[in-house]
Amino acid sequence: MEATIRPFKREDLAAIQRIERLSFRREAYPAELFLAYHTWYPKTFLVAQLEDKVIGYAIGRVVEERGEVISIAVLPEFRRKGIGTSLWRALREEFQRALVKEVRLHVRVSNEAAINFYQRLGFKKVHKEVAYYSDGEDAWSMRLTFCQKRI
């Protein structure tokens, strides 16, 4: 399945919120935060589109030589079809353009699907963050280091 990966646009907000609610339920980010991410990180807020439907998104940020994956989410019916991987590749390209050397992220310890996804991409568990989430659940801090080359 080949989706188009492109930058987020304000008119994508309703679709992004739907994906967010289906993916993260009570922990879903509010609309205002997505709009703020769009303002703060326009190059690393990406969406996956299939025909005219937004089916996934990725948000990252760059702080000096470090990248952070804020979130990657895909509509349930499009998961395990390579959409998340495509979003990651596009986000990684933006990180490489910014000369990022290391990428970090946090994932719930109970989210085995996400942990496995990130491990397939090369991320390694670094340490457990106790009570990281608002409901008290722990998170794995994961990292990926890559050699720098200009693209």
| Extents of the domains making up the chain | 4-105
More confident residue, 2 or 35: 35
With contact defined as beta carbons under 8 Å apart, do 81 and 87 qualify?
no
Whether the per-residue pLDDT at 27 is higher than 60: the answer is yes
Nearest Cα neighbor of 16 from 80, 87, 110, 96 is 87
CA 87 centroid distance within chain:
8
| 4-105 classified as CATH 1.20.1740.10 | no
Whether the per-residue pLDDT at 148 is higher than 60: the answer is no
With contact defined as beta carbons under 8 Å apart, do 55 and 83 qualify?
yes
Q: Name the packing angle between helices 13-24 and 31-40 (round to 10°).
A: 120
Whether the per-residue pLDDT at 46 is higher than 50: the answer is yes
* Residue-level pLDDT at 24: 87
Task: Give one word for 122, left, alpha or beta, with left for phi > 0 and alpha for psi -120 to 50.
Answer: left
Whether the per-residue pLDDT at 151 is higher than 50: the answer is no
* Residue-level pLDDT at 85: 95
Whether the per-residue pLDDT at 80 is higher than 70: the answer is yes
